[in-house]
């Protein structure tokens, strides 16, 4: 077989990745080297308007000019290039390259040493049933020699068949620029944190089945053929812990199923076949953990009913010894707004009792669809001895919680505890998950996690510990009634902790408990809140200082992002009243109690207690309906917004806590008392700061003397020096 040097092509972005520099740097190199002794390589072809360069020429040029930050650029060029497939069919290059990689991994030697006949004989020997790669290698035809050379070079550049295989899958676009092959669509590719969450969850579920991670091989089932990335993440996690696994995938003959089987083979993962009928039905009798990601990569246009039907097939065949984890769009697994057919199917799954936990995940977990939120279901055995009316589901809302390592660990702990009985749930200290009766989920027309806690809490945010700490703080702050007269009138706070049945331990909590959080979008739709956009003002109309010409500027106070974030003091910027009235006839001013918020550079909010302020865009206003507040309080709204993590800019989905109507007025009075004491403390602190400065200035200048009397009470006398007035 002729294995002449294959023609490998690179884009400008590929060259930047190879040289480990930013993309504009390559353009600068190309311009500056045009008239030098070593000009930048010229493009050899174009693809969809992009210039393509010969990878070998680029590698030699980088090595000769010592450009970039990769001293091994010439050797690594194959890993950042793609073969010239201008004569091939869309997607065929990906199938051929992955097939050759799988065969090379079985042989353990370079393929370039084999003739065409020997190559086909080797493929037939290692894939006699044509379940993996024989068909793909046989179909290569005349391009076999160049592709074999490319595969050998790629393996050398990537240091192995498995890393080379993953590098190919990570950049499928190169091998199918027109997106015509189902196996190349990356719309469902999960981010690193998402894969880690699913891998740890699946591994932890397997551990609960009694498997010894160090000896036995747990079984993971991918009946939909959609969880290749997750299975690989599980395998890597178990390899780090010194354990192996066995996976079951469909015996389908489609391109996606064959690609998945080749991928598992290259990584040395034990795989068993699974017969899946046309209807989606299948059977697994042994202890196993089911994993599914919907929609699969080869069916990105899958309808909600189809996704839920696929989950239903998993639930129908599950035994009490089997568990499962499913990730799919939140619009399907959690959110409201499903069609009647889809909603009925989801309700049927909830009634089965096997949906043990529901988690709404933050946006950004899909690399190519960062705005699409995902949800996670954990499946387990139903509570056979618990009446249907008393069965429960644990729900959690991580919409505003970044998936850090600590968050993932705590969430996995919550999910495993959710599989337990009533005693286990009662004993576990849940960080994210919340106990909800399943019948409540079925009766609600809202999202399934609408009642989950969504605001960051501390270990002392609920229960008896909170009441004890409140009493301690009141005792510390009111040792003398004259010091804090407003706080001395606050009543003791009594609480009780809700149990797994959903009931509280005292009638007081039942009568005055807090309402479930709702999103701003929901509260706006119910007219409990009103949204008022900010004003767009001409910069020339804004007075940037409170003094103009030595006199204090009048006009209307401005509140923009700088004021909300605390970078600029309130009242520092103003606009003339007449100018605002004449130049902005549609301008809006705030009302007392309005919440002014901003999303950039991070979520933040303040309460405009005075009102009659001009809110400067991109700051906006949330106004509580005084006739129907539904438990909303301006101070709590502002605190909840400010507590949100940076980057969470979809303000319509921000969750807001609410107060029981019987406690709303009392809490408002209590917060007003605390605020008054804060103002007094700030004023006293300012006076102390001024006194400190004057003492240091007076004594060092010689205009003040300080006398000290030693005794149980130290007294100070201040007097001017002799000869001064």
Distance from C-alpha of 421 to C-alpha of 356, rounded to nearest angstrom: 11
- What does the pLDDT read at residue 421? 86
Is 297:273 a contact under the CB 8 Å cutoff? no
Q: Where do we find the tokens 């799988």?
A: 102
Distance linking the first and last C-alpha atoms of the chain? 108
Range with the poorest average pLDDT among 33-42, 120-129, 477-486: 477-486
Task: List Cβ<8 Å contacts ≥24 apart for 63-67.
Answer: 64/38, 65/29, 65/33, 65/38, 67/19, 67/29
Distance from C-alpha of 694 to C-alpha of 269, rounded to nearest angstrom: 76
Is 673:487 a contact under the CB 8 Å cutoff? yes
Phi, psi of 274 (to 5 degrees): -130, 120
| pLDDT at 343 exceeding the cut of 90 | yes
Domains of the chain: 8-184 (no CATH), 192-443 (3.40.50.150), 478-512 (no CATH), 518-658 (3.90.220.20), 660-725 (no CATH)
Reduce the DSSP state of residue 655 to 3 states and report it. Answer: strand
The side-by-side arrangement of strands in the sheet containing 270-274 is 270-274, 246-250, 219-221, 289-293, 323-329, 374-379, 355-360, 392-397, 434-437
Contacts of 222 (CB under 8 A, 6+ apart): 228, 230, 231, 247, 248, 249, 250, 260, 290, 291, 292
Angle made by CA atoms 318, 321, 325, in degrees to the nearest 5: 60
Distance from C-alpha of 360 to C-alpha of 399, rounded to nearest angstrom: 6
Can you tell me the mean pLDDT for 223-239?
90
Is 354:316 a contact under the CB 8 Å cutoff? no
DSSP element (H, E) containing 329: strand 323-329
Phi, psi of 616 (to 5 degrees): -95, 120
For residue 179, what pLDDT band results from cuts at 50, 70 and 90? Answer: very low
- What does the pLDDT read at residue 473? 79
Q: Where do we find the tokens 């002014």?
A: 596
Range with the poorest average pLDDT among 73-87, 228-242, 580-594: 73-87
Distance from C-alpha of 372 to C-alpha of 84, rounded to nearest angstrom: 35
Q: Where do we find the tokens 């000009």?
A: 39
Portion of the chain with pLDDT greater than 70, in percent: 83
Alpha carbon of residue 697 to chain centroid: 54
Can you tell me the mean pLDDT for 223-246?
86
| pLDDT at 719 exceeding the cut of 60 | no
- What does the pLDDT read at residue 480? 53
Is 351:442 a contact under the CB 8 Å cutoff? yes
pLDDT tens-place string over residues 389-411: 889 999 998 987 889 999 999 99
Alpha carbon of residue 211 to chain centroid: 31
pLDDT tens-place string over residues 260-289: 999 999 999 999 999 999 888 999 989 999
């Amino acid at each position: 077989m002729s294995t002449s040097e294959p023609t490998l092509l690179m884009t400008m972005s590929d060259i930047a990745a190879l040289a480990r520099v930013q993309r504009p740097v390559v353009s600068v190199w190309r311009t500056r080297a045009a008239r030098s002794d070593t000009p930048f390589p010229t493009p050899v072809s174009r693809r969809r308007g992009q210039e393509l360069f010969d990878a070998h020429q680029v590698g030699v040029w980088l090595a000769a000019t010592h450009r970039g930050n990769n001293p091994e650029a010439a050797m690594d060029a194959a890993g950042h290039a793609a073969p010239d497939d201008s004569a091939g069919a869309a997607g065929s290059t990906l199938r051929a390259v992955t097939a050759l990689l799988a065969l090379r991994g079985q042989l353990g030697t370079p393929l370039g040493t084999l003739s065409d006949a020997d190559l086909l004989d080797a493929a037939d020997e290692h894939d006699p049933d044509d379940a993996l790669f024989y068909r793909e290698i046989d179909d290569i035809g005349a391009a076999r020699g160049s592709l074999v050379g490319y595969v050998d070079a790629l393996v050398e550049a990537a240091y192995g068949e498995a890393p080379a295989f993953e590098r190919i899958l990570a950049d499928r676009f190169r091998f199918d620029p027109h997106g015509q092959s189902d196996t190349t669509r990356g719309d469902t590719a999960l981010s690193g944190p998402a894969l880690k969450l699913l891998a740890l969850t699946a591994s932890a579920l397997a551990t609960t089945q009694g498997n010894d991670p160090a000896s036995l091989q747990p079984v993971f089932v991918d009946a939909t053929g959609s969880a290749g990335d997750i299975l690989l993440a599980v395998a890597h996690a178990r390899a780090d812990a010194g354990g192996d696994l066995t996976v079951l995938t469909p015996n389908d003959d489609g391109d996606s199923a064959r690609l998945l089987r080749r991928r598992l083979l290259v990584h040395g993962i034990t795989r068993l076949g699974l017969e899946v009928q046309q209807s989606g039905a299948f059977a697994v009798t042994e202890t196993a953990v089911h994993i599914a990601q919907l929609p699969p990569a080869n069916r990105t246009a899958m309808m909600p009913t189809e996704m839920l039907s696929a989950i239903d097939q998993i639930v129908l065949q599950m035994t009490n010894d089997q568990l499962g984890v499913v990730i799919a769009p939140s619009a399907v697994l959690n959110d409201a707004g499903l069609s009647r057919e889809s909603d009925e199917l989801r309700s049927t799954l909830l009634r089965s009792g096997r949906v043990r936990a529901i988690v709404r995940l933050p946006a950004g977990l899909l690399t190519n669809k960062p705005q699409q939120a995902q949800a996670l279901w954990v499946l387990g055995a139903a509570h056979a001895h618990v009446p249907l009316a008393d069965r429960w589901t644990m729900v959690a809302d991580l919409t505003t919680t970044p998936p850090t390592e600590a968050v993932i660990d705590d969430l996995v702990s919550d999910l495993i505890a959710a599989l337990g009985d009533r005693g286990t749930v009662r004993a576990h200290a849940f960080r994210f998950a919340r106990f909800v009766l399943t019948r409540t989920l079925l009766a609600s027309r809202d999202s399934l996690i609408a009642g989950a806690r969504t605001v960051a809490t501390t270990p002392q945010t609920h229960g008896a510990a909170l009441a004890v700490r409140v009493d301690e703080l009141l005792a510390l702050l009111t040792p003398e009634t004259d010091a804090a007269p407003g706080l001395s009138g606050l009543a003791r706070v009594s609480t009780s902790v809700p149990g797994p049945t959903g009931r509280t331990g005292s009638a007081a909590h039942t009568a005055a408990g807090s309402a479930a959080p709702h999103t701003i979008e929901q509260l706006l739709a119910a007219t409990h809140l009103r949204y008022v956009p900010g004003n767009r003002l001409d910069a020339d109309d804004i007075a940037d200082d409170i003094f103009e010409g030595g006199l204090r500027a009048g006009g209307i106070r401005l509140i923009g992002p700088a004021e909300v974030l605390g970078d600029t003091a309130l009242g520092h910027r103003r606009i003339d009243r007449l100018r605002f009235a004449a130049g902005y006839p549609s301008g809006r001013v705030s009302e007392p109690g309005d919440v002014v918020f901003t999303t950039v550079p991070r979520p933040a909010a303040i309460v405009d207690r005075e009102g009659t302020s001009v809110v400067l865009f991109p700051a906006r206003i949330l106004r509580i309906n005084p006739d129907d507040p539904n438990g909303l309080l301006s101070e709590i709204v502002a605190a909840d917004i400010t507590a949100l993590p940076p980057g969470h800019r979809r303000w319509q989905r921000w969750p807001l806590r609410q107060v029981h109507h019987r406690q709303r007025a009392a809490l408002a009075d209590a917060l007003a008392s605390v605020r008054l004491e804060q103002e007094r403390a700030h004023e006293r602190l300012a006076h102390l700061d001024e006194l400190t400065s004057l003492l240091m200035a007076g004594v060092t200048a010689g205009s003040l003397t300080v006398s000290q009397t030693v005794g149980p009470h130290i007294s100070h006398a201040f007097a001017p020096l002799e000869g001064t007035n």
